[in-house]
Structure 1
């Protein structure tokens, strides 16, 4: 399957620090606009160094004090199936970077179950699918995320949807377990592609020269089965926020200098 890359745009920052600050400011602006209208905002977070850097940059931004966080719900596109206290948990990184610094109700933080809370990754996936179903959107039993953050690995994986594995092709479930993941830890839980693509906006944050090839393939319309990042697409916007090092293979006509 070939994705239409005319719908995807690229916004370039000079370095990782500027990239984090830029995305954080846009994130806070989007959330603020939503909650100022009295509407709920559903945000799907991601892990990795840039995912944490964006949240940390948001925590430093004075604008966080002016947002009604009681209207914001936080989710995760994937999680490592490890104990709750494990530093590898995406949830733990997000709490340290931002969530512990804002006045968001505990009930609004929808963490994926940890090892020990559920018997196995299958049970954790089922539990998270049930949690998503409490906020159904127009495309299915899951929220239409106002922003779905994603990282992109050097192999072009997104969430815990890895190349040439069955999870990227699943469309009849919202959340699935991942066993034997090619990147440690091997046990994971991930949202499926229909949930990610039900988001209003998919924002992929990509930094580093080692990501340039994956980014180039994703923008060139490669098959999402082998290049999962090529298959991530928001219903309103699909934006790759990247630094200069990751942008070496970006076609000039895809660079958005105004967004």
Structure 2
């Protein structure tokens, strides 16, 4: 049974910029505490405008110098199957926002192979699963993420797990290829729910009025097959970081002003 502390919390900031700064500060605090004790921190990143905004806020925060980045490993919850230099790559966005500005070893950055690697979509997914397995834990054949960032689409999708698609229900694989994605580009590689939900902390970062309905459904306990965000839950913490526009359908008693 998960502890009560793993219950979903909602943190609201007035604007996307204020939200990015708050998430970045929490992220730095978490990584600083972990790396100061010499522990490795595995982190799963997300794409999208807020994924990039949070990482830029981390890069701009002077406290980021307190993190021992040599102990941090970066992964991605999903990736678009496009060449490495393509603007659609989540990893390219992450590099430009943060990774190129910190002293993180190249071997700590675990990118999904694109078509320019010579691998097919299925081979890329298999290779990413094998890379995850290099950092297996006693419990799972993948690393435990200290923090897993997730964006949420207006349809409630997370990573590349889209509503009412077979990928969202898979539990016997760590990584899946995705074809004919309802959101372009059509080919992607995604982590599965078991991997995402084995994270210690799942942080969903959501902005905009177009996300309000999906957020409301996720918090109301909708079916995760229809609203994948409803099935996202960290082992220790599950936090929805949202701006006021996205929070319009959130009950005030769910908002945690102290977190």
Please name the residue that 1:157 is paired with: 157
Query: In 2, Cα distance between the equivalents of 1:249 and 1:189?
Result: 32
Please name the residue that 1:176 is paired with: 176
Q: TM-score, normalised by structure 2?
A: 0.97
Look up the SS of the partner of 2:53 in the other structure.
helix
Query: In 1, Cα distance between the equivalents of 2:142 and 2:232?
Result: 16
Contact 1:44 1:148 in 2 (8 A): yes
Of the structure 1 ranges 62-71 and 198-207, higher mean CA displacement relative to structure 2 is found in 62-71
Provide, for residues 211-251 of structure 1, a one-character-per-residue CA deviation record: whole Å limited to 9, x for no partner.
00000000000000000000000000000000000001111
Please name the residue that 1:209 is paired with: 209
Alignment partner of 1:7 is 2:7? yes
Contact 2:113 2:119 in 1 (8 A): no
Alignment partner of 1:230 is 2:230? yes
Of the structure 1 ranges 116-125 and 37-46, higher mean CA displacement relative to structure 2 is found in 116-125
Where do 1:86-125 residues align within 5 Å? 86-125=86-125
Contact 1:118 1:124 in 2 (8 A): no
Q: CA deviation at 1:65?
A: 1.5
Contact 2:152 2:206 in 1 (8 A): yes
Provide the alpha-carbon RMSD of the alignment: 1.1
Of the structure 1 ranges 109-118 and 188-197, higher mean CA displacement relative to structure 2 is found in 109-118
Please name the residue that 1:48 is paired with: 48
Query: In 1, Cα distance between the equivalents of 2:45 and 2:181?
Result: 20
> Can you give the 5+ residue segments of structure 1 that lack an aligned partner in the other structure?
none
Provide, for residues 148-193 of structure 1, a one-character-per-residue CA deviation record: whole Å limited to 9, x for no partner.
0000000000000000000000000000000000000000000000
Q: How many residues align?
A: 255
Contact 1:139 1:198 in 2 (8 A): no
Q: CA deviation at 1:136?
A: 1.1
Q: TM-score, normalised by structure 1?
A: 0.97
Query: In 1, Cα distance between the equivalents of 2:159 and 2:23?
Result: 18
Please name the residue that 1:33 is paired with: 33
Query: In 2, Cα distance between the equivalents of 1:65 and 1:30?
Result: 13
Look up the SS of the partner of 1:74 in the other structure.
strand
Q: Which runs of 4+ in 1 moved over 4 A?
A: none
